[in-house]
Amino acid sequence: MSGPARTTAPPACAPRPGAVVRELARWDVRQRWRSAAGTGAALGVVGVMVVALYPSVGRSLGDLADQLPAAVANLLGGASTSTLAGWVEFEYVSILGPFALLLLGGVLGAGWLAGAEEERTTALVLATPATRRGVVLAALVAGVPLLVLAAALSAVGLLVGDALVAEGDLSLGGVVAVHLQLVGLGVLGLALALAVGALGGRRALALGLVGAVGVVSFLVDGFAPTVDGLAWAERLSAFSWAVGSSPLTGGLDGAGLAVLLGAAAALVVVAVVAHERRDLHA
């Protein structure tokens, strides 16, 4: 040992907790914006194609689709394909959009908590003044704008497609409403992945559960209304709360969005508490 023991005070310029969360979120966005932009761009391209196919394929399928059994039609969105809005709901809003945003939220949430623990970057971050709670909140702060980015690109795709086919059938308000609902669903996926990741520290488990919620929600949303005595189960479907009210034509479903965000908030609380208490592997 050499040298005197120095008086050691906390660094005068240690960042405030809010600044730490902002830096964590900024870093998270920097790490994952490509995933969100890629998902959104892919959705946008598919959206253009779906709308563009309406005059040649969708309209001609209209009669056929209208003759589908109720259960099958309901599974595919329950909309009539005799209009462009119905076709988009049938092809895009009821299946593709919800799955994409839910899974994007799951990928982001699973990566930022369980993934970081598996990759052992958690230990590096938590050797700084960052707190465990701050890490969870930063994931939320970073995740929402990335989900909005993906949804915005998806919305642009639908609107560009609508302009291309000159049908003028898709309202801007309806497209925005759909994508706000989808962002709500994505936030639910994000929060669920954060909670599962915080509880177990395993990315595959977190992402797998989000995927399972998506599949079950899709099936329940499609079949429950058509099975006697099971109509109540529709309320258990996240897809139902997100797009069950046909927001493309019916506008924003405030109650559905509130349920999604409320469930997400509860899951974030679970994530914070679990992350605060659990032994971290790295």
Partner 1 sequence: MVRDPAADPAVDLRGVTKDYGGVGVFDLDLRVERGEVVGFLGPNGAGKSTTIRVVLDLVRPEAGTVRVLGLDPRAAGPQVRARLGFLPSDLAVWGRATARQALDHLARLRGGVDPAWTGELCRRLDVDLDRPLRTLSTGNRQKVGLVQALAHRPDLVVLDEPTMGLDPLVQQEVQRLLRETADEGRTVLLSSHTLSEVERVADRVAVLRRGRLVAVERVAALKQVAVRRVRAELDREPDAGAFRRLQGVRDVVVDGRRLEAVVEGHVDALVKELARSTVVSLDVEEADLEEVFLAMYAGDGRAAAGCGGGDGAAAPGHRAGAAR
What is the footprint of partner 1 within residues 133-172 (CB under 8 A)?
A: none
Of 20 and 257, CB closest to partner 1:
20
Site string for partner 1, 79-118 (x = CB under 8 A): ----------------------------------------
Q: CB within 8 A of 174, min separation 6: which ones?
A: 85, 247, 248, 249, 251
12 binds partner 1 (CB under 8 A): yes
The correct pick among 20, 170, 180, 259 for binding partner 1 (CB under 8 A) is 20
Round to the nearest angstrom and report the end-to-end CA distance of the chain. Answer: 31
Nearest to 49 by CA among 172, 165, 151, 149: 165
Using alpha carbons, select from 100, 95, 109 the residue that is nearest to residue 153.
100
User: Binding to partner 1 by residue 10, rule CB under 8 A?
Assistant: yes
69 is an interface residue for partner 1 by CB under 8 A: no
Burial 45-69 (b: 16+ CB within 10 A, else e): ebbbebbbbbeeebbebbeebeeee
Task: Examine residue 33 and tell whether it contacts partner 1 (CB under 8 A).
Answer: no
**DSSP alpha helix (H) spans, 12-131:** 17-52, 59-66, 70-75, 84-88, 96-110, 116-119, 121-125
Closer residue to partner 1, CB minimum distance, 52 or 280? 280
In whole angstroms, the minimum distance from the beta carbon of 257 to partner 1 comes to 32
Please give the residues from 260 up to 279 whose contact with partner 1 meets the rule CB under 8 A.
279
**18 near partner 1, rule: CB under 8 A:** no
Q: Which of 164, 172, 219, 282 binds partner 1 (CB under 8 A)?
A: 282
Buried/exposed code over 99-112 (b: 16+ C-beta within 10 A; e: otherwise): bbbbbbbbbbbbbb
- Which residues of the chain form contacts with partner 1 (CB under 8 A)? 1-8, 10-15, 17, 19-20, 23-24, 27, 30-31, 119-131, 279-280, 282
